[in-house]
Structure 1
C-alpha cells in the first residue's frame, strides 16, 4: 500500500487541524520534546471562540502559547504530570498550571483508566518512514495510552525530531492518525548540562566508590545525577549498562568513553533503554536511528519489577531536603510546587530489590536562601507543607558531599545518627538537640 497517499489525504494546516477542539475538551500533548508547538500556537489564536479547554502535558519544554494568550484563565487551563523549569515559570506567573500527582510507571495506566479521557491527542513527531510510521522520537513515555483514549490524533511533523527505535510503543502508524501538520521545523529545545561543581565531584566520588563493573545505570533529572554520570565517564568503571527513564548527555559521554557495553544486563542486553531524552543537539543526533538505543513506554522502563530483574542496578537521583527519619522531598519547597514525583520512587524501590542494586538520592548538604542565609538540607522534620517523594520505608542510600547514609535496616536513632553524620558540620549540634527532643537519639550515638 502507498502510505504517502494516505499521508497526503490527512495533511492539513495547523489552523485547520485545531478546528476539532471544542469548549470543555480535554487535550493531551506529547511528552517533553514531543509536545505540541505550532498546534498550540494555532489553538491560542482560537482563544475567543473557546472556553474551559483543559490541556495535559508532561515536562513541557515548548512555549505555552495558549497560557500566554489567556491571562484571565477563561479559556485554557494546563495540567502537568511533571513540572519542567518552564512549567514552573508558568505556574509561578499565571497560577493556571496544575500538577497531576503520579508515580511515573503508572502514568500510562492512569491515562487509560483514571483521568478524564482526552478527546484530542497532539504531538510533535519525526517524519513518516517508508512503512507509514512516525517515531515519537525523544518522548515515548505514555503517548500510546493517550492515543487509545482519543477521538482525534493530530501529529505535527518536525524534521529535527530524531527517529528513535524501539522498544515498544515508540511509534504510531498513519492509519491511526486523523490529521498531519507539517510545521516550520524549529530546532528542538535543548538542556545543556552544567559543569560539575566541587561539591558535585565529592558526591560523585562517594557513589563511584560503591559501584562495580557491569552496573546498570539510571540517572534522574537534575545537575547532580548528570554530573555523576559525566564523572563516571572519567572513572575506571567498565561494561556498564543503561536502563533509564531520562536519557541525558552523561550517557553520551560514557558511551564515547567506552564505558557502556550492556553485556551484563539480564534483559535488553547490549541496548541502552530509555523513555525520553533531553539534552544537547549532539545528544539528539546520537539517538537518531541508533540501533544501540531502545525507546520504551514508561510502564516498562519504570516498572519496579523490571528494574529489580537487572543485577547490580544503580539508580542516581536528586532531592531538595531530607528529614531525620529518612523521608525525602524532591518536588516542593513547602507548599510551592517545583517538579514532581517522576520516577524517583519507581527506581528507589526497583534498584534496592535488584541483586546487588543500590539506590542513591543526592543533595548538597546546604543551600542559601534568598535572604543570604545558609541552611541545612537535612532537617529535623521536612519543611511544613513539603511533599514526601520517597517515604522513609523506601529510602536507601542518601548522599551529600560528607558521605553516604544507608537507611535500610536501621532504627530511628540509627537513621538519625547516619544522617547527621553526612550533614554539614555547622548544623550537627542543632540536629542532635532536635533528635533528642523527638526521642530518636541515644547518648551512645557517635559522629564521624
Structure 2
C-alpha cells in the first residue's frame, strides 16, 4: 500500500481524536495540499497528474438543464484488465474488483487517463479552510461541532474523521431528480422502479452557522411513479447530524392503506424500502447514518484503479437495457482511472449485529466521495461489493455519483440506483423548504 509522505503521516498520528489541527498544519491547505486536503502534486510515475482546480467551467456544448456532455469524450482506454492479466494489476484493485474479475469471465476493467476533475464552489473551499482549525468530533464521534459547511476534517487524523468527510461532503443546497433503481437477476432480467426525489440540505447551506444546523443534516423524500403496482408509495426522512443525540425520523405512505405511517426505525441493518431487500439503511449513499457501531481505522492512502468521470454511462444516448447486463453493469460503458484514495476499515463492535461485520472503504482524495466498499460477513468472507460511478456536475460544480451499485457475489445479482439517462437532468436549483418535508405535508400531497 502506498502511504502518505512521512511528515503528513506524523501529523495524522499526533493529537487527540477530537482535536482540530493547529494553524501550522492547516497552512498545508494553501501549499502542498488542495483546499479539501488532497495532495496537489501528481505521482512520481506521472500516471496521476497534478490537481489544477478540476473542472471550473462547463465544456462547449453544455446547455443548462440538459444532460452533461463528456469533457473527456476523446479519451481512449490505456489498457484493459481481465481475469487473464489480473495478477499484473492486483495491487491496484479492491477485493471486490478482483472478485468480479475472477467470478465472471466476460467482465473487464477499462482504464483511462487520470483526470482530476473534482471541483467545488469557492465558498466551500473557504469553509473547509476554516474547519481545519475549528471542527471537532463530538462525544464518541457521533457528530461534529465547529462547522456548518465544507469538509469538516480536510487533514483527517483517524478513520472516523475521514468517514464524516464523506457524510458531510457538499451535494448542493437542494436537489430534485427522477431516477430509476432495480435488482438485476443472474439472467439479466430486471424491473425498473422509477422515483422522484427531493432533498433539502441544511449542512452546507450558504450563510448557515453552526447554530443554524440545530443537529439537522438534510430532509429527504421520494415518491414512486412506476411501475403502476408501486406508484404512489412514498418515503420521507428527516436526517439528523448526530443520530445518537436524535434518531432519524422516517415515514412511509402506502397508497393501499391511504395513510402516512411512522417507521419504527430506519438505521444500521434495517432494509431500505423500494430496494428489494438489497440495501441496508447504512449502505445507501455508500455509507450514511450513525457510525457508532463500528470501530474505524485510517489505513492510509493508496493509489488504486477506481470508477471516475463516468460520463459515458451517464449519457442520455443510452437505454437502460444498454447498461444493465447479466452479473455486472455493462463494462464497456464504465470508466476507471488511477487515483489516490483514503483507505478506511470499519469493524463491527462487540455486542452488535449487522450483515456486514467488516467494511473497507476507498474514499477519493479529491472529493471525499466513497468510490468502492468491500463488504465482509462475520466469517471474514467477502459477500458484497459496492461501487459509486461519479461525474462532476460542473454547472454547480460538485462531484457526485451518477450510479451506485451493490453486487451480491453469492447470489450473482446486483442492485443499481441512480439510472437517469432517459429522465430530466438533476435540478440543483429546485425551490424547497423544510416545511415540505413533514408528515402532514406528505399526507396532503398524497391526498390530491
Q: What's the TM-score once normalised by structure 1's chain length?
A: 0.19
Higher Rg of the two aligned structures: 1
Per the normalisation by structure 2, the TM-score is: 0.19
